Amino acid sequence: MGYRRLKDELDRHHNTHVNDKRMLRICRSRRIKSTIKYSNHGCTRQGKNPYYLADNLLNRDFKADKPNQKWLTDVTEFKYYVGNEVKNAEVKKVYLSAILDLYDRRIVSYVIRDTNDNPLVFDTFRTAIAANPDAHPLSHSDRGFQYTNRVFHHMLTEAGMTQSMSRVAKCIDNGPMEGFWGILKRERYYGKRFTDRASLDAMIEDFIQYYNTKRLQRNLGVLTPMEKHEMYFAA
């Protein structure tokens, strides 16, 4: 973790109070650095023959006044390797679909599958809707084929949601969702080599649990996503 997060963790969990500049000096003196972010120049393009295209109603307004007001969603991939020989190992992929709430930055729901297809995304939303039956958020995504699908649009309409989509090749339009992928991969995936599906799945599930309930965020007032979420309803 970076020096700011390390400082917040010490303050919160170990009752050790150190200011940012001192923590930075200590980390530099001991050569402690956060995980390097890998460059990613890819961005999902518009699906072929889309049934429905929505305007960018979110328009990079990443603030929300309450939970379940604005949801972001996306799919990302992970690789694992099967075989004893490093060079000749067979590359396998799994896909993670998730929904993020812009108010408290919690992961509302997620699904892990072997294939990047329509059921992956549809089941992610069914899980979210079942857990939040009174939620009618603005739902923002890129223009991937799952999100421009007739069934998906009907699903959102039936749930009372308004659909919003990023512009073509503008990843920043879905910035906080892309940011979550970056956090997950920097902290638990990059620099590691997973050799079976079960350990990769376990890593993803453990991280999402940790992220929602234990990982402090300064933009939430040095709270976890679930603390921010619960404080709204306790007020």
State the first-to-last Cα distance of the chain, in angstroms, to the nearest integer.
Answer: 32
11-38: per-residue pLDDT in tens?
777 777 777 777 678 778 877 776 655 5
Note the pLDDT of residue 41: 53
Q: Are residues 28 and 82 in the same domain?
A: no
Over 90: is that where the pLDDT of 8 sits? no
Q: Are residues 208 and 121 in the same domain?
A: yes
Q: Are residues 10 and 78 in the same domain?
A: no
57, two tokens: 């109603």
The one-letter code for the residue type at 230 is: E
Whole-angstrom distance, CA of residue 165 vs CA of residue 142: 5
Note the pLDDT of residue 26: 77
169-212: per-residue pLDDT in tens?
899 999 999 999 999 999 999 999 999 999 999 999 999 999 99
Longest dimension (CA), the chain: 57
220, two tokens: 């939430």
**How would residue 144 be classed by pLDDT, with cut points 50, 70 and 90?**
very high
Range of weakest confidence among 10-19, 64-73, 224-233: 10-19
Task: Tell whether 53 is covered by a domain.
Answer: no
pTM as predicted:
0.85
Q: Are residues 25 and 129 in the same domain?
A: no
Q: Are residues 30 and 78 in the same domain?
A: no
Q: Are residues 128 and 218 in the same domain?
A: yes
Number of domains in the chain: 2
Residue range(s) defining the domain that contains residue 19: 1-34
Q: Are residues 106 and 195 in the same domain?
A: yes
**How would residue 6 be classed by pLDDT, with cut points 50, 70 and 90?**
low
Task: Tell whether 199 is covered by a domain.
Answer: yes
Q: Are residues 12 and 102 in the same domain?
A: no
